[in-house]
């Protein structure tokens, strides 16, 4: 049985809302609200949902780039933090864990320092962690660039000299510099042309097989997630509504929100017709989520108890979890 690399339990991340002259705490933006899941070694775990549902915040909180409000995260058997027990990995121990956990950012234009050349960008982690410096660090940067489909001679160039796809390859090379086990891919192809997206995805798949990587792949493009990910979780307003392996989720979607998302995925065959489920209304504010089921304000199958009682998560099939009163 494959061992879990990441174990997330009851994770919450709230951003405080303050008002008035004395900045009194008047509420919270519930960006991530009680999320639990596991990622197995060598797996690509997809996280999908509308913009603002908390996908990126989940990824960054797992890496401890954002301070959690509640919950716990374990990485390869090591506890990163447990808020309830007031246990947090800090200092040199957290620094050593950072080598095994990296992130690829969404915007290839904003995540590269325009004042640093590519060699310095890719080798920065090597220098900071004392793995290599000087010529050795630059030689390693050249190897990483070539591994990611760029010429090693590019180490002396600056980010503005590259296209968006090339910049994202530089971002991938930087993430690989410390030989991590786990990478959070925060919508890594969202800002790229469609023709470049497939090249970057192919590169990431090849690197996963070659280096034994594990990905948390955050995206809003279901057509990409379907073929790229092993397991998929659908997120709405800070919480998971459905989780299953890729084949099961697309073959047998259960939650009304999942069904509506899948109905919007375009089909290449113009002769095939399918029902389009259009949700009414807007996404509620995460600062003031609805009582009961968070989705009930837009759900076409809403019942009275949906408005009062939050549904529990049920395992309807092995590995297929749904949070909805309809499955009860």
Residue pLDDT, tens place only, 155-183: 999 999 999 889 999 999 999 999 999 99
CA 155 to chain centre: 29
Which residues lie across from 8 on neighbouring strands? 37, 73
Indicate whether 41 and 94 sit together in one domain.
yes
Of 150, 173, 196, which residue is a domain's last?
173
The reported pLDDT for the residue numbered 193 is 81
Cα torsion 253, 254, 259, 261 to 10°: value is -70
In a domain, 316, yes or no: yes
The reported pLDDT for the residue numbered 154 is 93
* Residue whose pair of structure tokens reads 């996963």 in the numeric block: 208
- What's the whole-number mean pLDDT along residues 251-275? 83
Confidence bin at 281 (pLDDT 50/70/90):
confident
CA 199-248-45 angle, to 5 degrees, is 45
In a domain, 211, yes or no: yes
Where do runs of H (alpha helix) occur along the chain? 55-62, 91-98, 118-128, 134-147, 164-176, 194-211, 222-228, 246-251, 256-263
The reported pLDDT for the residue numbered 278 is 77
In a domain, 255, yes or no: yes
Arithmetic mean of pLDDT over the chain: 91
Confidence bin at 108 (pLDDT 50/70/90):
confident
- What's the whole-number mean pLDDT along residues 66-87? 94
Q: Which residues contact 225 (CB under 8 A, 6 or more apart)?
A: 46, 48, 217, 219, 232, 246
**For residues 125 and 178, is the Cβ–Cβ distance under 8 A?**
yes
Q: Residue 129 is part of which domain span?
A: 114-173
User: Does pLDDT of 191 surpass 80?
Assistant: no
User: Does pLDDT of 226 surpass 70?
Assistant: yes
Of 173, 194, 218, which residue is a domain's last?
173
Indicate whether 130 and 248 sit together in one domain.
no
- Note the pTM of the prediction, 2 decimals: 0.92
289: CATH? 3.40.50.300
The reported pLDDT for the residue numbered 1 is 58
Confidence bin at 223 (pLDDT 50/70/90):
confident
Indicate whether 46 and 68 sit together in one domain.
yes
Asked which of 71-80, 145-154, 260-269, 295-304 is least confident by mean pLDDT, the reply is: 260-269
Indicate whether 59 and 198 sit together in one domain.
yes
**For residues 154 and 145, is the Cβ–Cβ distance under 8 A?**
yes
User: Does pLDDT of 272 surpass 80?
Assistant: no
Indicate whether 15 and 162 sit together in one domain.
no
In a domain, 50, yes or no: yes
Q: State whether residue 328 is helix, strand or coil.
A: coil
In a domain, 109, yes or no: no
- The number of folded domains in the chain is 2
Of 152, 173, 194, which residue is a domain's last?
173
- What's the whole-number mean pLDDT along residues 21-28? 88
Burial of 109-133, coded b for 16+ CB within 10 Å and e otherwise, reads eebbeeeebbbbbbbbbbeeeebbe
């Amino acid at each position: 049985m494959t061992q879990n690399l990441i174990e997330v339990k009851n994770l919450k991340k709230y951003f405080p809302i303050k008002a008035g002259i004395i900045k009194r705490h008047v509420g919270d933006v519930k960006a991530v609200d009680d999320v639990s899941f596991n990622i197995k070694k060598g797996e690509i775990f997809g996280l999908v949902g509308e913009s603002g549902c908390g996908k990126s915040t989940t990824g960054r909180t797992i890496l401890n780039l954002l301070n959690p409000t509640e919950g716990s995260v374990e990485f390869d058997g090591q506890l990163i933090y447990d808020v309830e027990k007031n246990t947090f990995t800090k200092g040199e121990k957290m620094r050593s864990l950072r080598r095994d956990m990296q992130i690829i950012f969404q915007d290839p234009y904003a995540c590269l320092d325009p004042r640093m050349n590519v060699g310095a960008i890719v080798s920065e982690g090597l220098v900071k962690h004392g793995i290599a410096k000087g010529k050795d660090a630059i030689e390693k940067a050249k190897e990483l660039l070539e591994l990611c489909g760029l010429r090693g001679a590019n180490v002396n160039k600056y980010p503005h000299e590259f296209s968006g796809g090339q910049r994202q390859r530089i971002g991938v090379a930087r993430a690989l510099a410390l030989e991590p086990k786990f990478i959070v891919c925060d919508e890594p192809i969202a800002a790229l042309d469609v023709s470049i997206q497939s090249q970057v995805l192919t590169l990431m798949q090849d690197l996963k097989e070659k280096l034994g990587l594990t990905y948390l792949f955050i995206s809003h493009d279901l057509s990409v997630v379907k073929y790229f990910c092993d397991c998929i979780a659908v997120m709405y307003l800070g919480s998971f509504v459905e989780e299953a392996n890729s084949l099961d989720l697309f073959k047998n979607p259960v939650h009304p929100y999942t069904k509506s998302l899948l109905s919007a995925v375009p089909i290449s065959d113009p002769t095939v017709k399918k029902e389009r489920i259009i949700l009414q209304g807007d996404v509620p504010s995460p600062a003031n989520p609805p009582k009961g089921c968070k989705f009930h304000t837009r759900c076409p199958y809403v019942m009275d108890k949906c408005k009062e009682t939050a549904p529990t998560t049920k395992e309807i099939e092995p590995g297929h979890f749904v949070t909805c009163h309809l499955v009860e």
